A and B are shown apart, each in its own frame.
Chain A
């Protein structure tokens, strides 16, 4: 499989009072056709910013975004349009991301109109009905408004809208975290089923490790704008090689009162992205830090095929 998307040295800085916020620093990865790549990390890790930069909702400070061999980093709006049809977002908040004044039919038909898909209204309606069926909504949803639906149903509407223009890439930013627990699994199942059936590539951005592990082929772990570890989903979660990944996994509460878990509670707070620590950015909270960690920014090194970590210590995990 060839790379659908290549992100090379992506860097995103924002000017703020007090200095430059280094939201994303030198992040590189590939996404193959039909592959699901999970992006995990806590707030301030840069995961949402990466998604926005790929969608070209913000202009990267440095680095390149290459889609199907074409560098889209500097493309102007008009030249971007074919890419925008191919890469569609799904957002966290199905309340804020659907126009309350549009019927469900108009919401879902909007990308069809924008990209000139469907010869006439009749054809577009057929397409919208097919999409409703794909996401498990009834036909009579067509004439209703977003507020008449529950959170889970609204997220189904956003998924239908994202799929309308037949994209090759979905950027899903926390698509289930605003939903009730009993609904989350439904939506994760729907996303996976559609991804498999339509052979979609997906960048799945979330903080819930269990869901990310379930849906992703590979996972990238981010901390303070930098890549800490990349690897195949199951081996990265099962046998993490970076101390931050280990701490993140150990913090997930187990729904079992008898399973006393060995927990690594990270001390202190996330350092300021305006003035990140020298060397390894995680060292100030790392239980395994040694003086050498303050020296240089650790390079990503291979620990097994397809599995890399940015940590200089090989004697710990």
Chain B
């Protein structure tokens, strides 16, 4: 695995429902390089969050995870297949090798323990260290995260902090054992734009300091443009486009990505020139996926007899740039 930190091969996640099993993630393969930021872009039902939970080994039954391999290079240099690891070993991976942060910090912070107790527990779970030393490390972490009066905040309960501070505390807990990969699932979506700007700046800075790789999940292309090295676009459980941030933003060949980019509201739009460009129709229901290309009912490049007949494969339209569209040669932004 030259340069790669994480390699996911043929990941499939299914959930049983009353109407039969649904495939939330369908034959997904991707890699994340050391220190790299991969942004997964998708809307509801795209499978972006389920993918990250599967990597973390956090899909609970009756959900079912299958994969040829989920390989991670550990800090010790050993490569492990996370899809074959027993839960006891997976627990050592979580936090120490891969850490995860969520949109709503209260889902990962326990309301009845102070911030300090929670960070110290996370550190001492993975490393042999005295409480005092762990407390010092926790305090340093909060200071690094720009939390004022870090010593005093260690004794605060989560509800005593503002939304932005809570998000910082959660990041502090996630990073307290210096993981080599941080998975951030919409970490700024619930925040105000000014706080979002603070947190994005913070994550970028920490990444530089620690050389940490980041999988950043978002539905916001503006946020993706700010931090991505590479982008993976998902739709209805599949990867539909992947490439460098520049390749996607400058030369996407996928009708869905083009539609998404056009529908992002930008400042300074001239409303006299007509309605906002929008993608027609609705995000598909995984229980009733369309035949052929899953995007075809909403696509303005749709060709009858072709797009509704055959599921397009992922094809390289340029070096390192893959698209899932039968007509990509004709598609331009």
Contact = CB atoms under 8 A, between A and B. Distances in A.
A252 B226 CA distance: 10
A252 B193 contact: yes
Interface string A258-300: 1100010110111000000000000000000000000000000
Contacts of A249: 267
B43 interface: yes
B278 A208 contact: no
A29 to B, nearest CB: 22
Contacts of B144: none
Interface residues of A, number: 47
B194 A247 contact: yes
Which of B148, B198, B228, B259 has the largest count of A CB atoms less than 10 A from its CB? B198
A218 to B, nearest CB: 14
A255 interface: yes
B219 A181 contact: yes
B281 to A, nearest CB: 9
A189 B246 contact: no
B276 A214 contact: yes
A192 B275 contact: yes
A182 B275 contact: no
B222 A255 contact: yes
Contacts of A153: 282
A207 B193 CA distance: 8
Which of B163, B267, B268 has the largest count of A CB atoms less than 10 A from its CB? B267
A152 B192 contact: no
Classify chain B: how many residues form its interface, as a range.
Answer: 35 or more
A233 B220 CA distance: 23
Nearest to B193: A251
Given A251-B196, A251-B197, A252-B193, A181 B263 contact: yes
Q: Is the interface of A mostly helix, strand, loop or mixed?
A: helix
Nearest to A265: B197
A265 B267 CA distance: 18
B302 to A, nearest CB: 16
Contacts of A247: 194
B228 A268 contact: no
A185 B198 contact: no
Given A182-B260, A182-B278, A210 B266 contact: yes
A189 B273 CA distance: 12
Interface in B154-197: 162-165, 192-197
B43 A210 contact: no
B28 interface: no
Given A248-B194, A257-B249, A210 B283 contact: no
Contacts of B279: 182-183, 185-186
Contact of B278 (A185, A234, A248): A185
B260 A185 contact: no
A272 to B, nearest CB: 9
B53 interface: no
B132 interface: no
Contacts of B193: 42, 207, 209, 248, 251-253
Interface in B265-322: 265-269, 271, 275-280, 282-283, 285, 298
A183 B277 CA distance: 10
Interface string B189-225: 0001111111011000000000000000001111111
A255 B275 contact: no
B115 interface: no
B264 interface: yes
Contacts of A183: 278-279, 282-283
A151 interface: yes
Nearest to B263: A185
A123 to B, nearest CB: 31
A255 B163 contact: no
Contacts of A122: none
A269 B164 contact: yes
B222 A43 contact: no
A237 interface: yes
Nearest to B228: A257
Interface in A1-56: 42-43
7 contacts: A42-B195, A180-B44, A207-B192, A210-B264, A252-B222, A253-B225, A258-B246
Interface of A: 42-43, 150-153, 180-186, 188-189, 192-193, 207-211, 213-215, 234, 237-238, 247-259, 263, 265-266, 268-270
Given A180-B43, A185-B275, A248-B193, 11 more contacts: A182-B260, A185-B278, A186-B280, A188-B276, A215-B271, A252-B222, A252-B267, A253-B223, A257-B225, A257-B226, A269-B162
